[in-house]
Copies of this chain bind each other. A is one copy, B any other.
Amino acid sequence: MARACIGIDLGGTFIKFGLLGEDRQTGARLQLPTPRDGGAEAIIARMVEGARKLAAEAGLGREDLVAVGIGAPGPADLRRGVILAMPNLPGMENVPLARGVGEALGVPAYLENDANAAAYGEFCCGCGKGTRNLVLLTLGTGVGSGVIVEGEIVHGSHDLGGEVGHMIVQVDGDPCPCGQQGCLERYSSAAAIARRAREGVEAGRPSSLAEVLRRKGDLDAKDVEAACKAGDALAAEVWDDGVRHLAVACVNICRVIDPDLIVLAGGLAGAGADLLGPVGEHFRRLHWSLTAPRTRIVLSALGDQAGVIGAAAVAWRASRQS
């Protein structure tokens, strides 16, 4: 590989690294455990270590490394490259992450929200190649999202764009820790589907999931999916309700920005056709009849590499502009 950017995806458990060439070909990748006790210094050191290792493995000379992009969760001042806080990592308050990593590696480094980076990854190198407008929804513990309009990540006027997980899809609905009621992620995240099934069991609804809960001590979305396929009524109801609210959000996304694609990613997207089939049905049913639905709902093509690839693509984008 000639000139390349390194993408880094900072998660609570792992830090992932990947190379992206000038021709948008992906290269070597790597993951290292996230140091949880050393604060910002340890995180930065681990990022530098991983980036150097990856560059060495790929035989990338110093002058061939163009820039580094870092995708991270939580509130950030993206322009300044500063992490304001990280939900599950102590010591990450007001950390100038981009500067720390960039100075150590001797190249420019850029910070991006992790869901935005994943959306940009799919846009540049995944299922969004050749499109102009795309929204990615990561259905995991919460619902992360990234919005691409005319090829650019939508940051909004206050770096709060692309928070579709907190779109209100049910007025006066389920309270969300964010302070709103009826947010998408209260119905359609993997965690919400598990939680709502568990609540049903605990409320005494008859379900095969009662036995699973007893055995495992908890439920996850895969349990609900399996029970749903086996004909369990509670599981089917929770799954359908999650999927239906997801379809409402998809219609509303179309009404604001009318994208080519809505990309479903994250744990729940592992359900594949069991997710895509019913989402598509609800979407077509809820969608207006003025025009046929033209926005396509698809599964992520890059899976858990979307964030790393997108972070590298963000670095390419920024280094071409500067």
Chain A positions near chain B (C-beta within 8 angstroms): 75, 131-133, 147, 149-150, 152, 154-164, 166-171, 176, 178-181, 244-245, 248, 251-260, 286-291, 294-295
Contact = CB atoms under 8 A, between A and B. Distances in A.
A178 B166 CA distance: 26
A154 B152 CA distance: 12
Q: How many copies does the complex hold?
A: 2
Given A150-B152, A157-B132, A295-B157, A257 B254 contact: no
A168 B252 contact: yes
Contact of A168 (B75, B131, B162, B286): B286
Given A252-B252, A288-B166, A157 B131 contact: yes
Contacts of A256: 147, 154, 161-164, 167, 252-253, 256-257
A166 B291 contact: no
B156 A133 contact: yes
A294 B158 contact: yes
B180 A288 contact: yes
Contacts of A131: 157
Given A160-B258, A179-B289, A257-B257, 7 more contacts: A133-B157, A149-B150, A156-B257, A158-B294, A168-B248, A171-B244, A252-B252
A75 B288 CA distance: 14
A257 B154 contact: yes
A87 to B, nearest CB: 11
B166 A255 contact: yes
